[in-house]
Structure 1
Amino acid sequence: MNDEKRGILYTALTYTIWGFLPIYWKLLDQVPSDEILASRIVWSLFLTVAFIFLIKGRKMLLSDLKDLWKSKKTFFTLMIASYLITLNWFLYIFAVTNDRIVETSLGYYINPLVSMLLGVIFLKEKLSPAIKFAFVLAATGVTILAVSYGTLPWLAFGMAFSFAFYGLIKKTIKLNALRGLALETLFVMPVAVAYYIYLFANGDAHFLHTGVSTDILLVISGAATALPLFLFATGAPLIPLYMVGFLQYIAPTLMLILGVLVYGEEFNRINLISFSFVWVALAIFTTSKVMEARTVRRGRLNSGH
Structure 2
Amino acid sequence: MKETTQQKGLAAAIFAFVFWGLAPIYFKMLNHVDAFNIIAHRVVWGVLFLAVFLLVRERQSFFSTLKIPLKTFFGLLISGLLIVCNWLIFVWAVTHDQILATSLGYFINPLVNILLGTLFLKERLTKAQMIALTLAAAGTLYLGIYIGQPPWIALALAMSFGFYGLARKLLQVRPLVGLFWETMWLVPAALWYFSATMNTQLQTTTSTMILLFFSGLVTVLPLIGFNYAAKRLSLTYIGFLQYMAPSISFIIAVMFYGEAFTHGHQVAFAGIWTALFIISYHSFKERKRKKLTMV
TM-score by length of 1: 0.92
Question: Matched residues in 2 for 1:129 and 1:154: separation?
Answer: 28
Q: What does 1:93-132 align with in structure 2 at a 5 Å threshold?
A: 93-132=91-130
Aligned to 2:174: 176
Once the 2 structures are TM-superposed, how far is the Cα of residue 174 of structure 1 from its aligned partner? 2.9
In structure 1, what is the Cα distance between the partners aligned to 2:58 and 2:110?
Answer: 35
- Amino acid paired to 2:120: F
Residue 46 of structure 2 is matched in structure 1 by 44
Alpha-carbon offset, residue 177 of structure 1: 2.0
Q: CA deviation at 1:296?
A: 2.6
How far did 1:51 drift?
A: 1.5
Q: Secondary structure at the match of 1:204?
A: helix
Q: Which residue of 1 aligns with 2:31?
A: 29
Q: Kindly provide the amino acid, as one letter, of the partner of residue 190 in structure 1.
A: P
Is the 1:8–1:239 contact (alpha carbons within 8 Å) kept by the matching residues of 2?
yes
Say if 1:66 and 1:271 are closer, same or farther in 2 by CA, change over 3 A. Answer: closer
Deviations 1:55-111 (A, max 9, x none): 234634x2354433xx33x22221100110110000000110010011100000000
Hey, what's the Cα distance between the residues in 2 that align with 1:292 and 1:232?
24
Contact 2:58 2:65 in 1 (8 A): no
Q: What are the superposed Cα offsets for residues 274-298 of structure 1, whole Å, 9 maximum, x if unpaired?
A: 2111111110011111122222333
Secondary structure of the corresponding residue to residue 161 of structure 1: helix
Matched positions, count: 293
- Of residues 140, 153, 156, the one that matches 2:154 is 156
Within 5 Å, which residues of 2 pair with 1:266-281?
266-281=260-275
Match of 1:82 in 2: 80
AA aligned opposite 1:216: I
Q: Which residue of 1 aligns with 2:289?
A: 295
Match of 2:200, as an amino acid? D
Letter in 2 for 1:37: I
User: What's the Cα RMSD here?
Assistant: 1.4
CA distance in 2, matches of 1:298, 1:179: 37
Using the TM superposition, name which of 288-297 and 95-104 deviates more.
Answer: 288-297
Counterpart of 2:200 in structure 1 is 204
Q: 1:238 aligns with which of 228, 232, 241?
A: 232
Distance of 2:289 and 2:269 partners within structure 1: 30
- Whether the 8 Å CA contact 1:111–1:164 is kept in 2: the answer is yes
Where 2:185 maps in the other structure, the secondary structure is helix
**Conserved in 2, the CA contact under 8 Å of 1:177 and 1:230?**
no
Identical counterparts, % of pairs: 39
Segments of 5+ residues of structure 2 without an aligned counterpart are: none
Correspondence for 2:241: 247
| CA distance in structure 1 between the partners assigned to 2:246 and 2:272 by the alignment | 12
* Shift of residue 10, structure 1, vs aligned partner: 0.7
